[in-house]
Structure 1
Amino acid sequence: MTELTGKLALVTGGSRGIGAAVAVALADRGADVAITYHSSPDDAAAVVKQIEAAGRRGFAIEADAADAGAVAAAVTRAHEVLGGLDLFVNNAGVGSVGMIDDVALEELDRVLAINVRGPYVAAQAASRVLADGGRMIHIGSCIAERNAGPGMSLYAMSKSAVVGMNKGLARDLGARGITSNVVQPGPTDTAMNPADGPYAGAQRAHLAFDRFGTPDEVAAAVVYLAGPAASYVTGTELTIDGGHSA
């Protein structure tokens, strides 16, 4: 439980759901952790308290994932506050459901700004300060691997872009010993997609298990990729989806 002792981490979108679970899991294993948040300062403060309860330093930075300048500035700020950066978790994102004929241009721009441009700008900023031998981990979606129903074309496109970005980053950063990987969750019980929500039954029908995953189960995959056991893993996708892609 101490494999990340002394490591310095940033988790974007770390105030709730999977991001919060990841931040706390990294702290539990010894990392100091900064998080970004946008609309939930109280939730961010609660996550920082959990990080500190683990005996680590925690820090919250306000940044709108749709604002490229704010995203880049948050990475720089985290590097300054922590005194370095070893682990970068590109988690901030947004969901979207709509049939192709119904998706407005404004929704297209919103989702791509948050799910594609934001992660790319964040990864670009992190690459400039990440220590050699560091880790980049991006939170994608199993939808990039298997789209099991209608209404997901925009979201699937945005998460597929993360896969392509990740493969390029693995090549760009490999000479510095930095790994880059994607964790692709399936249906996970969060405020964004609750296990008792209106779409839950349809999602469970595509799983091998009759249940949603938990944020802690996704966080465990991130911890693995952040640790020494995954030092030769790069440019790939680790899918945590309860059999959605089977």
Structure 2
Amino acid sequence: MTKQRINMNHKLLEQTEFHSFHWDNFSPDILKAHKNVMAHLGLNVQYTQKNIPHGQWLDEVMAAATSDVVAIIEPDLIPLNQEIVLKAIAYVLEHDTFLGCAQVSNHIGTGTHIFASPAFFFITRSCYEKLGHPSFMPDKKGDVAEALAFAAEEKGISYRTLFPTRYEKAPSEGCWALGSYGYYGIGTVFVDQIYHLFQSRTAENIELFVKRCDELLQNKLDISSFKSCVDFQIPEAIYHPKRKRKWYSRLF
């Protein structure tokens, strides 16, 4: 890597503040593994432990932010290399926008609106101002951070979603559908460069995450055997959320 490239990468990281959030009941094993990977990748992450809603914490982060770019990396998610982080920073700076891993709120509305989730999420402060400082809190229309996508769509501001390519196994309730794109589950890899555990409460998944972090640190992580999110094979078990009946449905 040339000196010019190294300086450019250093400048991108200097323009960005990294944040991660967890409650006091979060696994200390996952947290330790996550911090080891962040240090390995050269990312200076500010960890916050608070027993408040995720969206409220995100609102507080954006209100206090001073850097050009605000980056959120959830503690059960790891970039598999520094390059994807640098690309994300460069992209949002160049286009004055935001990006995140693709997500659908299957438990809200029609389950077809794909938005940038705040698990691996990068946004410029100036973009947040253009959006009108929307709250990250969930509501009847969308999940955490989905209001930013709706605001961008209303204002004609383009944003980027990173799609899943592979996953390790199905959740107990079945794989999750990402709109019409495909399916994902426990241990999902987005664009082959970002690993998100999901459902980090169970002992089995905690062990899985720690193992993957250790493999990354030892340069032994191999995702080639993971299941495809985009092939034509439909998972045996698929999550189907129970839809709430409208009050007027009783009349018909």
TM-score under structure 1 length normalisation: 0.38
Larger radius of gyration: 2
TM-score under structure 2 length normalisation: 0.38
Higher helix share: 1
Higher strand share: 2
